């Protein structure tokens, strides 16, 4: 187990609604990244947070936003949900220091279905 | 063109077979390279990092050719438990960039 937890496990929403997904990083990890994984595809980078500030963003519209809290837990918010937002959302945390500075530890993900 | 391209798969091989996965990446500024393994409905997990000198971990061997921008993974003596999707991953600064993945099914 990576020690990274996500909630909820599954979620069903309808178009136009808003959703908040949560992630708790492994202890000692101060960087969290969010990825979207559509069925049959590899994960795609959404954004990364470091010490509560956005530290890089992928090709996702502004309706995808995030937060990181002082305890390094994180939220991903998606507004105005679209059918194409149906995917697994993965959170990954990175140690503040470690053997491999780029190693990311993934949580189990949240499966979002938009109807 | 996608930044990381992998063999489309799926690969169906008998137990004991040797299987090779190939991957190319387009951004020469890429700094780090990895193979991740992802089981069905699970999160990706780091299988191994990939170095220019090549590296081996038991039955798994990874190679990197920076000049050709090519990465490979060789699995020898395949086991049923090797059945999974194998993701080629490159990293430059912030994000990990994933390939689409190649699915492997090892058959008894």
Given CB atoms, is B2 within the 8 Å cutoff of chain A? Answer: no
Note whether A56 contacts B93, CB cutoff 8 Å: yes
Suggest the residue from A42, A54, A59, A100 to mutate for an interface test with chain B (most B CBs closer than 10 A).
A42
Given CB atoms, is A48 within the 8 Å cutoff of chain B? Answer: yes
Range in A17-21, B16-20, B29-33, B82-86 with the lowest mean pLDDT:
B29-33
* Residue B39: pLDDT over 60: yes
Whether residue A109 contacts residue A102, with contact meaning beta carbons closer than 8 Å, is answered with: no
Nearest-5° Cα angle at A35, A13 to B55: 150
Whether residue A36 contacts residue A43, with contact meaning beta carbons closer than 8 Å, is answered with: yes
Strands (E), chain A: 5-7, 10-13, 19-24, 29-37, 44-50, 53-57, 64-68, 74-78, 87-95, 105-106, 110-114
What is the H or E stretch that residue A8 is in?
Answer: none
Q: Which of B42, B97, B100 is the closest to A41 by Cβ?
A: B100
Q: Which residues of A touch B100 (CB under 8 A)?
A: 40-42
Between A75 and B96, the more confident residue is A75
Rounded Cα gap, residues A36 and A89, in angstroms: 5
Nearest-5° Cα angle at B79, B86 to A108: 45
Q: Which of B31, B42, B98 is the closest to A43 by Cβ?
A: B98
**Tens digit of each residue's pLDDT (9 = 90 or more) over A28-70:** 788 899 999 999 999 999 999 988 899 889 999 999 999 999 8
Given CB atoms, is B55 within the 8 Å cutoff of chain A? Answer: no
* pLDDT band per the 50, 70, 90 thresholds, residue A15: very high
- Two tokens, residue B94: 């912030």
Which residues are CB-contacts of A17 (< 8 A; sequence separation ≥ 6)? A81, A114
The upper half-sphere exposure of residue A8, i.e. CA atoms within 13 Å in the direction of its Cβ, equals: 9
Which residues are CB-contacts of B55 (< 8 A; sequence separation ≥ 6)? B48, B49, B61, B62
Given CB atoms, is A21 within the 8 Å cutoff of chain B? Answer: no
Given CB atoms, is A93 within the 8 Å cutoff of chain B? Answer: no
**Tens digit of each residue's pLDDT (9 = 90 or more) over B85-98:** 999 999 876 688 99
Note whether B98 contacts A33, CB cutoff 8 Å: no
Rounded Cα gap, residues A93 and A74, in angstroms: 10
Q: Chains A and B: how many Cβ contacts under 8 Å?
A: 50
Rounded Cα gap, residues B54 and B21, in angstroms: 15
């Amino acid at each position: 187990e990576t020690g990274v937890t996500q909630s909820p496990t599954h979620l069903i929403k309808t178009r136009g609604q808003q959703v908040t997904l949560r992630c708790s990083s492994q202890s000692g990890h101060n960087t969290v990244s969010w990825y979207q994984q559509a069925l049959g595809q590899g994960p795609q980078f959404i954004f990364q947070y470091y010490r509560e500030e956005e530290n890089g963003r992928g090709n996702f519209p502004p309706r995808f936003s995030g937060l990181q809290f002082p305890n390094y837990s994180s939220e991903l918010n998606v507004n105005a949900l679209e059918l194409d937002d149906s995917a697994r959302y993965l959170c990954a945390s990175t140690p503040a220091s470690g053997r491999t500075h780029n190693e990311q530890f993934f949580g189990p993900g949240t499966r979002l279905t938009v109807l | 063109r996608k930044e990381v391209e992998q063999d489309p798969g799926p690969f169906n091989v008998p137990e004991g077979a040797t299987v090779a996965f190939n991957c190319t990446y387009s951004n020469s500024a890429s700094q780090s390279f990895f193979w991740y393994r992802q089981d069905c409905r699970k999160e990706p997990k780091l299988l191994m990092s990939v170095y220019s000198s090549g590296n081996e971990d038991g039955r798994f061997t990874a190679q990197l050719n920076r000049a050709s921008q090519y990465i490979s993974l060789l699995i020898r003596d395949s086991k049923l438990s090797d059945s999974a999707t194998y993701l080629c991953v490159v990293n430059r600064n912030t994000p990990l960039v994933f390939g689409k993945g190649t699915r492997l099914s090892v058959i008894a």
